[in-house]
Amino acid sequence: MKMRAVKTIYLFEMARTWRTIWQSVASPVISTSLYFVVFGSAIGSRITEIDGISYGSFIVPGLIMLSVLTQSISNASFGIYFPKFTGTIYEVLSAPISYVEIVLGYVGAAASKSFILGVLILATAGLFVPLEIQHPFMMVMFLLLTSVTFSLFGFLIGIWADGFEKLQIIPLLIVTPLTFLGGSFYSIKMLPPLWQKISMVNPVVYLISGFRWSFYGQADVGVDISLAMIAVILITCMLTVRWIFNTGYQLKN
């Protein structure tokens, strides 16, 4: 393992963030604040409590997941797509490093950014509503696992994409709907029984449920099932990455 090479890629990717630091920090903070104004105040005045938690507080874990998921995917997919697009990827491919090192560098950086973003949103939310974190260790674990898993997923999209449309299409058509329908703004238990069943095929439901449990001790599905779900997605992504680098798919002709 060449840690120096991993560190080089990692720092390069992080530096890209510093150059656009205001965009990276301000946009999640502003959009989170907007969610509180719109959902927290407007809807919160009608739905006062879910599972004994005030509506404003209830939506915090879901909001964090929403941003972490979409940002992980867009950061990681762009991070690898861009050098492919400009051609600078030649240097990474010709370096004496394994694919594991390449992935650690790129995905590690994207996941770090998402994690920091999650913490930022949490802090912003704390300005609007009272927060309670019953299981802080599990909260961090969920945040970390989600950041890593979806950064890896984004990395895959970035490799698969051969144009800007493809880069956008999966986040737009699949990920965003799944996150919105994943129980960020409501409890699955509030849905009619049929929709409750349908929701169970949405992996995001498990993520949000588990994450919310780490805050308030309330979950739509068991925490162990939530963790298992993340593990399944993570392992699937890892196997796909391995397959890509072993066959050279979309990378080495």
Residue ranges binding another protein (CB under 8 A): 2, 4-5, 7-9, 12, 15, 19, 86-88, 90-98, 248, 252-253
Contacts 24+ apart (CB under 8 A), 122-129: 122/60, 122/64, 124/28, 124/29, 124/32, 124/33, 125/32, 125/36, 125/60, 125/63, 125/64, 128/33, 128/36, 128/40, 128/56, 129/36, 129/40, 129/54, 129/56, 129/57, 129/60
CB of 73 to another protein, least distance (A): 22
CB of 248 to another protein, least distance (A): 4
Tell me the backbone φ, ψ of residue 50, rounded to 5 degrees.
Answer: -125, 130
CB of 168 to another protein, least distance (A): 22
- The DSSP 8-state label assigned to residue 181 in this structure reads T
**Identity of the residue, 97 or 204, whose beta carbon is nearer to another protein in the bound complex:** 97
**Identity of the residue, 45 or 94, whose beta carbon is nearer to another protein in the bound complex:** 94
DSSP string, 2-35: -HHHHHHHHHHHHHHHHHTHHHHHHHHHHHHHHH
CB of 116 to another protein, least distance (A): 21
CB of 15 to another protein, least distance (A): 8
- Of 120, 149, 127, 126, the C-alpha closest to 210 is 149
**Identity of the residue, 17 or 70, whose beta carbon is nearer to another protein in the bound complex:** 17
**Identity of the residue, 91 or 165, whose beta carbon is nearer to another protein in the bound complex:** 91
**Identity of the residue, 43 or 251, whose beta carbon is nearer to another protein in the bound complex:** 251
**Identity of the residue, 19 or 46, whose beta carbon is nearer to another protein in the bound complex:** 19
CB of 95 to another protein, least distance (A): 5
CB of 154 to another protein, least distance (A): 20
- Of 60, 52, 147, 166, the C-alpha closest to 109 is 147
**Identity of the residue, 48 or 86, whose beta carbon is nearer to another protein in the bound complex:** 86
Kindly tell me the sign of the dihedral angle through the C-alpha atoms of 178, 223, 141, 3: negative
Residue 173 exposure: Cα atoms within 13 Å on the Cβ side: 6
Q: Which residue has the tokens 């599972």?
A: 51
